[in-house]
C-alpha cells in the first residue's frame, strides 16, 4: 500500500512531475495490477483456510 501511495504522490503531486520527469499514468493501466494483487490475496487466504480446516491435507504439508 505504501509503495502505491508513493507512486501516486510522485505521479500526481503538484510540482513533482517536473522534478522526477514523469507523466500521469492513464487510468486503464492502474486496474490490472490491483486486480492481480487482489487475485493473489484471495488465493493465499483460501490456501490458509484450507490449511486450518484440513491440517493433514497435502496442501497443509506443502505449506510447512
Instruction: Give pLDDT, residue 30.
Output: 86
Instruction: Give pLDDT, residue 64.
Output: 63
**Model pLDDT for residues 43-54, shown as the tens digit of each residue:** 999 999 999 999
Instruction: Give pLDDT, residue 50.
Output: 92
> What DSSP letter does each residue of the chain carry, written as one string?
-HHHHHHHHHHHSTTHHHHHT--PPPGGGTHHHHHHHHHHHHHHHHHHHHHHH-TTSHHHHHH-
Q: Which residues of the chain have pLDDT under 70?
A: 64
Amino acid at each position: 500500500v505504501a509503495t502505491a501511495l508513493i507512486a501516486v504522490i510522485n505521479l500526481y503531486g503538484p510540482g513533482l512531475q517536473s522534478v522526477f520527469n514523469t507523466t500521469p499514468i492513464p487510468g486503464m493501466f492502474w486496474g490490472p495490477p490491483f486486480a492481480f494483487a487482489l487475485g493473489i490475496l484471495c488465493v493465499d487466504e483460501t490456501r490458509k483456510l484450507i490449511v486450518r480446516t484440513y491440517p493433514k491435507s497435502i496442501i497443509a504439508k506443502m505449506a510447512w
